[in-house]
Amino acid sequence: MSREEILNILGYLRSERIDGYYYKRINRKVTIGINLDSSYGKIINVYPDNDFKEVLDYPHFTILRTGDWEVNRSVIDEFKKLHYAGVIGGEVRKSDKELIAMLIEDGYYDININGFCNWCNKDIQKYDKFCSEDCKLNYDLQHGFKIRCSVCNNPIKKEDIVKHHTSYKKDITIDVCRICHAKIHHSNVPNFTIYQPDDDRPHTKPKYKLIRCDGCGGQLRLNLEAPNYVIDCSGKILNLCSKCKTKMSRWKEVDIKAFKK
């Protein structure tokens, strides 16, 4: 059975003006237009509160943000039927989340606001992604978008998280934002000073030490954690400054005696 025959069974009408274009009135709020020209089919138009005449007059008008959870839910339910019938979405069976992701990729940016909580899947029947602040926080934590600052309780981006030590000896840390972290260390406000470390930071060895460059004899700062060196023809390890490395065609085996001449 062809895709056109399946659409006829599902109640879709064929456009007389545009080849490969079908449309159907889903309910009083939604009329959906489908383009079958592509290999996998595509929902290209969603018309809230429009009748068939307006659909034919404006066949390429698309609502990208419907702003209505009932419209979005109707579109998703219809998209599932069309996908399971093999009309759109390709031959590989996709999950509900994958189908919603396909619609978002096609430009329906608020399609995931469909009256269900995105975390606990509760039917809230309103234009919102979550039923409570707890569900929103749990969703953000799982997807790594944001967490809450332990001091001000404001959401912070992943790249702005600071691991603040309340105890160095016991290695106890809390997640704080950059602003609160600065206030903890540089202010006398009791609300922030209570988070200051109970003990001092342990002494650590310096990461660098000063040595002599084996090439020019100048001063060189050696990185102890990631030493940077060149191997001589004789197999000797040479610590060289950046100028000497450039002169020696860096990272190649060289003869230090020939270089010094």
pLDDT of residue 251: 45
Of 34, 42, 46, give the one whose Cα is nearest residue 8. 34
Which residues have C-beta within 8 Å of that of residue 184, sequence separation ≥ 6?
151, 164, 176, 192, 193, 195, 196
pTM beyond cutoff 0.75: no
Which residues have C-beta within 8 Å of that of residue 197, sequence separation ≥ 6?
165, 166, 167, 168
Q: Which domains does the chain have, with CATH numbers?
A: 3-105 (no CATH), 144-193 (3.30.60), 208-260 (no CATH)
| 186: its two tokens | 């540089």
Query: Tens-digit pLDDT profile for the chain (261 aa)?
Result: 888 899 999 998 888 777 778 888 888 777 788 877 765 566 666 665 555 554 554 444 455 567 788 888 888 898 888 888 888 877 778 888 888 888 877 767 788 889 999 899 999 999 998 999 888 878 877 776 667 788 888 778 777 888 898 888 888 889 898 888 888 888 888 888 888 887 776 666 666 777 888 778 887 777 666 666 665 555 666 777 777 776 665 444 444 444 444
Helix (H, G, I), strand (E, B) or coil at 46: strand
Question: Which H helix or E strand runs over 147?
Answer: strand 146-148
Of 3, 32, 31, 33, give the one whose Cα is nearest residue 21. 33
Placement of tokens 């990272």 in the chain: 251
